[in-house]
């Protein structure tokens, strides 16, 4: 089995908030991500696929186009809470963004299989999702 990974970037803003919590508790739980005006990140997404050796139908250009069309264009320069329907009712945490990315990409790579999606919110904060 061969594993292939590539990193992609997108800039987006979000706000993390739970209406059932007080303002002070929201700031305790979510820190600066609870800013009422929201705030932005330069996210990095690493997409890893796996395929058996010897399959010559894999094309890097096609891989990049799929990730760009299915994921990056959906998230780049967006207010995740307001402009991405999936985050209308759930907080766009790094975990939820990784899960969202997986669901946008799974099954899109032909004979290659999605293995992992890792989303970096900052240089030190990231989440990897390997499917169910």
Domain ranges of the chain: 2-129
Pairwise CA distance, residues 31 & 29, whole Å: 6
pTM exceeding the 0.85 threshold for the entire prediction: yes
Pairwise CA distance, residues 101 & 72, whole Å: 9
- Residue 54 confidence (pLDDT): 75
Identify the CATH number of the domain defined by range 2-129: 3.30.479.10
- Residue 53 confidence (pLDDT): 82
- Residue 55 confidence (pLDDT): 63
Pairwise CA distance, residues 64 & 92, whole Å: 24
pLDDT above 90 coverage of the chain, percent: 85
- Give the bridge partners for 128, in sequence order: 118
Low-confidence ranges of the chain (pLDDT < 50): none
- Residue 110 confidence (pLDDT): 86
- Residue 94 confidence (pLDDT): 97
Q: Where are the alpha helices (DSSP H) in 1-127?
A: 23-30, 60-67, 73-75, 80-83, 94-105
Write the DSSP symbol of residue 123.
S
The closest of 78, 111, 95 to 103, measured between CA atoms, is 95
pLDDT above 70 coverage of the chain, percent: 97
Write the DSSP symbol of residue 85.
G
Pairwise CA distance, residues 132 & 126, whole Å: 18
Residues taking part in catalysis: 33, 77, 121
Write the DSSP symbol of residue 31.
G
């Amino acid at each position: 089995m061969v594993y292939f990974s590539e990193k992609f970037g997108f800039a987006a803003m979000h706000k993390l908030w739970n209406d059932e919590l007080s303002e002070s508790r929201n700031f305790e739980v979510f820190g600066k991500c609870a800013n009422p005006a929201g705030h932005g990140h330069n996210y990095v997404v690493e997409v890893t696929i796996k395929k058996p050796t010897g399959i010559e139908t894999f094309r890097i250009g096609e891989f990049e186009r799929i990730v760009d069309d299915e994921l990056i264009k959906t998230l780049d320069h967006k207010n995740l809470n307001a402009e991405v329907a999936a985050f209308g009712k759930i907080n766009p945490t790094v975990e939820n963004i990784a899960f969202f990315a997986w669901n946008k990409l799974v099954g899109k790579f032909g004979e290659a299989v999605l293995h992992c999606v890792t989303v970096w919110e900052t240089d030190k904060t990231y989440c990897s999702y390997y499917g169910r």
